[in-house]
Amino acid sequence: MDTTTTDTITLVTGGNKGIGHETARRLKEAGHTVLIGARDPARGRAAARGLGVGLVALDVTDQASVDEAAAQVRAEHGRLDVLVNNAAVNSVLAPLERTGAQDVATLLDTNLLGVLRVTNAFLPLLRRSAHARVVNVSSTVGSFALTLEHGMFDWEVVPPVYAVSKTALTMLTLKYSRELPGILVNAADPGYTETDLNDRQGTQTVTEGSDAIVHLATLGDDGPTGTFVNRDGAVAW
């Protein structure tokens, strides 16, 4: 896909701040027609104005909101070429033995089920695209291999439920990639990026954190599907 000459319609969920905001900025710069999804209307409008992009009111935990967002994009653009599932929360910080099931369900509702809702709602629009791409923003902390290699067991460093959600998201990505021939579905690992999710303790800038996402969003038609990559290459499962 030549993103400098093709009118590419792109939606970035959770695009009003952080990595999503930077991803939207970079893809607009690359020539995409960018829409950001935001559940907070005021923040969404401010971000959209600042970026010079479109806005879609979108709460990924609310099926009605997701369906309305898909209807808006269908009415305004007729299709979707790139979906970046970026919206996520890191709301459960306690060790597992002090974590309630409802707290886990609430986090998974955004980080995992939100991706399922949005992807399924937008699939009819993605199927209208000749160059459909889905990028799911996962994380190193969801990798079995890297968790074992780096000993990432301390909940103060890597909250366990967040890690579980990203492991599940990477598998969801793989399953979609097998189920959706003709659509490139991949997972991006931004790395430890300075965002609100980690109280801005990350060691990378949002630009560095968006590198893998932008790469996957702009893959050529011969690009891979069912991969998990960071800005340096493949990430171990």
Residue 208's Cβ-side half-sphere holds a number of Cα atoms within 13 Å equal to 10
Helix intervals (H) in the chain:
18-29, 41-51, 63-77, 101-111, 113-126, 144-150, 160-179, 206-217
Let me know if 79 is exposed, middle or buried by CB neighbors in 10 A (0-12, 13-18, 19+): middle
Inside any domain, residue 66: yes
pTM of the model: 0.93
Write out pLDDT tens, residues 142-157: 999 988 887 776 666 6
Q: 17, 28, 166, 176: which is the annotated catalytic residue? A: 166
Inside any domain, residue 112: yes
Q: State the average pLDDT over residues 99-124.
A: 98
In this structure, what CATH number is given to the domain that contains residue 214?
A: 3.40.50.720
pLDDT tier at 104, thresholds 50, 70, 90? very high
Inside any domain, residue 3: no
The domain in which residue 171 lies consists of: 9-234
Smallest CA-to-CA distance from 219 within 175, 192, 185 is with 185
Q: 17, 162, 175, 176: which is the annotated catalytic residue? A: 162
Active site residue 162: yes
Active site residue 175: no
| Residue 48: pLDDT over 50 | yes
